[in-house]
């Protein structure tokens, strides 16, 4: 490293090199074969039933190595103490000695990391759930406030939350998991970090805490799911942007593609609560464009169907029109002619008969249980009917400047009262301009013009008229000259 390069990554790498060099020098003076023999002798003593004597011997060895600042020897003694207690199935004493070793004066952080990870390996072998929870809480108290074991603390918290969720305590599980802010962990792998946040989002959705779920979901950027070409995520041992060494993700952590799908499914649950059909459509669009889905017809066909339904259910806006047009241009819709016709129906400026449309798509609506089923099913069917009415009103407003209310009701296949209601709702939403003259029974779609607009229109019309007269005069003069007939001759 050249002079002046004091980056976090370079400082961390230099520190590791210094520790390795110090350990190598110390190893030359420490007789590890003798130390290992003493540890083995104490383990043998514990195997004969003399557990107290064995623990005293191992604790003395740990003290000697710790005061000598020997990392290797301290780690060896600490792990041996835990091994002895685990073999003896003394879970209460195991918890006590974990706390004891962590609180000893000048305890080395490498030793703490080693015995915490070792104790985490015992959790799946505990005799009952109560013992497991007690061990987890002990390790949580040991890791609290220690940056070098923050990843281990996060994994312990997630396990405890899983236990509480299995017991049916969703609220308690969500509260436990939210205690950890993994987005600040520099050494945690990106996939494990995203998986942890998505678990927090899921628990908040399960307990109907939609506001907190939205806040947590915003911690995940959609750019995090984009894989760099030629690079599959973060490799274990790689130096991160904070200068810390990135650790390997916990076994069983989903891939980026799987996490992306999980992320958008959680967002769909959130937006479904607010009946935000446009955002639901965008989420399904992102799922549809994922490689694992786009290359499998069994997956993209049902997703594309949902995209079509939700873009149709979305209220009319510039974003909705753009999404509707882009979806209709998808070549894969050729394999779904019924759905292509549905989009064409809403793009074409023609009045749609609800009775015909309902009969045509009744079977498809019944098949789409995720869209038209469940508690929200009735609301979405009503919204589909509403979108057809809104489409018809917009089409009629393009062809008529004014129309009789009775005629408009006939075209919409509604009663006059319902016609006025839906028309008023669209006017309030500023989707179109309309005024209803109830005594005369007339609806006017053309907005009144101001004096300036009327004057400009009149001026434009006069200009066009004068231009036509001028061109006509030129043509008359041309014909007069060609045929040598003077203008005005009898």
* Residue 341 structure tokens: 């016709």
> Average pLDDT, stretch 266-270?
95
d(CA 153, CA 145): 10
> Average of pLDDT values for 266-273?
94
Mean pLDDT computed over 203-219: 93
Between 349 and 33, residue with greater pLDDT: 349
Quote the pLDDT of residue 215: 93
Q: What is the mean pLDDT of the segment spanning 411-426?
A: 91
Q: Is 442 helix (H, G, I), strand (E, B) or coil?
A: strand
Is it the case that residue 18 has pLDDT exceeding 50? yes
Report the C-alpha gap between 177 and 200 in whole angstroms: 6
Q: Would the pLDDT of 13 be above 60?
A: no
CA distance 38 to 394: 89
pLDDT for the residue 239? 55
Stretch 179-189: mean pLDDT: 85
100 burial (CB, 10 Å; 0-12 / 13-18 / 19+) is middle
pLDDT at 11: 46
CA distances from 417 to 27, 352, 420, 422 (A): 93, 20, 5, 9
pLDDT band at 322 (very low <50, low <70, confident <90, very high): very high
CA nearest neighbour of 311 among 343, 355, 337: 343
The yes-or-no verdict on residue 464 having pLDDT over 80 is yes
Give the whole-number percent of the chain exceeding pLDDT 90. 48
Give the pLDDT score at 33: 82
What is the predicted pLDDT for the residue at 301? 93
Looking at the predicted structure, is the pLDDT value of residue 243 above 90? no
Nearest one of 310, 190, 302 to 253, comparing CA atoms = 190
pLDDT for 375 beyond 60:
yes
Q: How many CB atoms lie within 10 A of CB 22?
A: 12
pLDDT of residue 489: 59
pLDDT in tens, 106-146: 888 999 999 999 999 999 899 899 999 999 999 999 998 88
| pLDDT score recorded for residue 214 | 93
- Residue 7, pLDDT score: 47
Q: Band of the pLDDT at 37, cuts 50, 70, 90?
A: confident
- 221-242 pLDDT, tens digit each: 888 887 665 555 555 556 555 5
**Does the pLDDT of residue 404 top 60, yes or no?**
yes
205 has pLDDT over 70: yes
**DSSP 8-state code for residue 104:** S
What are the sequence ranges of the domains in the chain?
Answer: 23-144, 304-395, 400-448, 456-490
| Residue 103, SS3 per DSSP | helix
Q: Which CATH number fits domain 400-448: 3.40.718.10, 1.10.10.10, 1.10.10.60, 3.90.580.10?
A: 1.10.10.10
Global model pTM greater than 0.85 = no
Fold that domain 23-144 belongs to in CATH:
1.25.40
Rounded Cα gap, residues 39 and 163, in angstroms: 36
The pLDDT value given to residue 280: 95
Say if residue 254's pLDDT is above 80: yes
What value does the mean pLDDT take over residues 56-72? Answer: 89
Tell me the DSSP string of 69-102. Answer: T-HHHHHHHHHHHHHHHHHTT-HHHHHHHHHHHH
Provide the mean pLDDT of the chain.
86
């Amino acid at each position: 490293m050249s002079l002046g390069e004091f980056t976090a990554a370079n400082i961390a790498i230099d520190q590791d090199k210094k520790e390795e060099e110090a350990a190598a020098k110390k190893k030359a003076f420490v007789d590890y074969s003798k130390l290992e023999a003493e540890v083995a002798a104490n383990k043998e003593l514990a195997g004969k039933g003399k557990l107290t004597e064995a623990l005293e011997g191992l604790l003395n060895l740990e003290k000697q190595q710790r005061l000598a600042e020997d990392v290797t020897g301290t780690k060896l003694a600490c792990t041996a103490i835990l091994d002895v207690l685990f073999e003896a199935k003394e879970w209460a004493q195991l918890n006590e000695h974990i706390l004891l070793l962590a609180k000893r004066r000048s305890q080395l952080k490498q030793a703490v990391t080693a015995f915490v990870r070792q104790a985490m390996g015992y959790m799946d072998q505990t005799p009952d759930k109560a013992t497991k929870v007690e061990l987890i809480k002990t390790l949580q108290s040991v890791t609290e406030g220690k940056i070098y074991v923050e990843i281990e603390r996060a994994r312990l918290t997630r396990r405890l939350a899983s236990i509480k969720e299995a017991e049916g305590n969703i609220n308690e599980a969500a509260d436990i998991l939210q205690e950890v802010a993994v987005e600040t962990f520099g050494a945690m792998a990106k996939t494990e970090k995203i998986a942890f946040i998505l678990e927090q989002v899921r628990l908040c959705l399960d307990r109907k805490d939609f506001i907190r779920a939205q806040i947590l979901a915003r911690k995940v950027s959609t750019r995090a799911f984009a894989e760099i070409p030629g690079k599959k995520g973060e490799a274990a041992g790689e130096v991160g942007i904070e200068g810390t060494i990135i650790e390997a993700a916990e076994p069983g952590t989903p891939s980026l593609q799987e996490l992306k799908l999980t992320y958008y499914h959680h967002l769909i649950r959130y937006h479904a609560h607010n009946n935000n059909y446009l955002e639901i459509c965008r989420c399904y669009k992102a799922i549809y464009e994922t490689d694992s889905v786009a290359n499998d017809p069994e997956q993209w066909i049902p997703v594309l169907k949902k995209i079509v339904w939700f873009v149709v259910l979305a209220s009319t806006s510039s974003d909705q029109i753009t999404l509707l047009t882009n979806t209709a241009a998808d070549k894969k819709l050729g394999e779904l002619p019924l759905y292509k016709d549905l989009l064409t129906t809403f793009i074409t400026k023609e009045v749609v008969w609800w009775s015909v449309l309902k009969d045509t798509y009744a079977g498809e609506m019944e098949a789409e249980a995720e869209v038209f089923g469940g508690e929200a099913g009735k609301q979405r069917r009503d919204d589909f009917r509403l979108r057809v009415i809104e489409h018809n009103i917009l089409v009629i407003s393009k062809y008529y400047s004014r129309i009789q209310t009775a005629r408009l009701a006939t075209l919409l296949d509604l009663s006059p009262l319902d016609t006025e209601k839906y028309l008023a709702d669209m006017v309030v939403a500023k989707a179109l301009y309309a005024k209803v003259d109830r005594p005369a029974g007339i609806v006017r779609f053309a907005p009144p013009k101001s004096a300036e607009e009327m004057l400009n229109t009149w001026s434009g019309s006069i200009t066009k008229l004068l231009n036509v007269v001028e061109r006509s005069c030129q043509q008359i003069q041309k014909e007069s000259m060609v045929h040598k007939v003077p203008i005005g001759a009898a």
